[in-house]
Amino acid sequence: MKTSDKCLVSVVMGSDSDLGVMEESMKILKDFQIPCEVVLTSAHRSPERTSAFAGEAAGRGVRVIIVGAGAAAHLAGVIASQTLLPVIGVPIDATALRGLDALLSTVQMPSGVPVAAMAIGKAGAKNAALMAIRILALADEALQIKLQKYIEQMARDVERKQASLNAANT
């Protein structure tokens, strides 16, 4: 498994077909300069590789695991069952059920094994990274400041868009 040594966040996905969605997580982590890695493993197709990853991630310094998976998406739950690290799940639209299958598989975890389930698709992938950053920011004041600036920028963007709308409608 090719992984970086010093990453704080692992972005895990069940298939390379999930990459287009999970890139949203990676973009945010890169913007916040959080060292991260991408790991491809499947709960169903490579169960031993999945267990090996879950078992060693914390020991390598990983602090949060983001998991994107579609269909009967068991990957986040299976990883959460084998690590103490917080696991954030991103349901992916990969079948005729448009992600509802993955959402229910991700969110309906049995008691005792938590997965923080995000929205289906790109918004979920983006929010998964922001949630990971919020977790890391609990012990990192500089990261808290970056998050605050990100939030303030979002508010400014709304005002800028309002101004554009006003200009287009006068």
Give the residues lining the site for ligand RP5 (CB under 6 A). Answer: 14-15, 17-18, 42, 69-71, 92, 94
Task: Give me the least distance between CB of 12 and ligand RP5, in Å please.
Answer: 10
What burial class does residue 119 get, using C-beta atoms within 10 Å of its C-beta: 0-12 exposed, 13-18 middle, 19+ buried?
middle
Task: Give me the least distance between CB of 69 and ligand RP5, in Å please.
Answer: 4
Q: Which is nearer to ligand RP5, 37 or 93 (CB)?
A: 93
Q: Which is nearer to ligand RP5, 90 or 135 (CB)?
A: 90
Task: Give me the least distance between CB of 72 and ligand RP5, in Å please.
Answer: 8
Q: Which is nearer to ligand RP5, 96 or 167 (CB)?
A: 96
Q: Please enumerate in sequence order all residues whose Cβ is within 8 A of that of 11, keeping only pairs 6 or more positions apart, or say none.
A: 22, 25, 26, 29, 36, 37, 38, 39, 66, 68
Q: Which is nearer to ligand RP5, 71 or 133 (CB)?
A: 71
Q: What is d(CA 140, CA 162) in angstroms, rounded to the nearest whole number? A: 34
DSSP 27-73: HHHHHTT--EEEEE--TTT-HHHHHHHHHHTGGGT--EEEEEEESS-
Task: Give me the least distance between CB of 123 and ligand RP5, in Å please.
Answer: 16
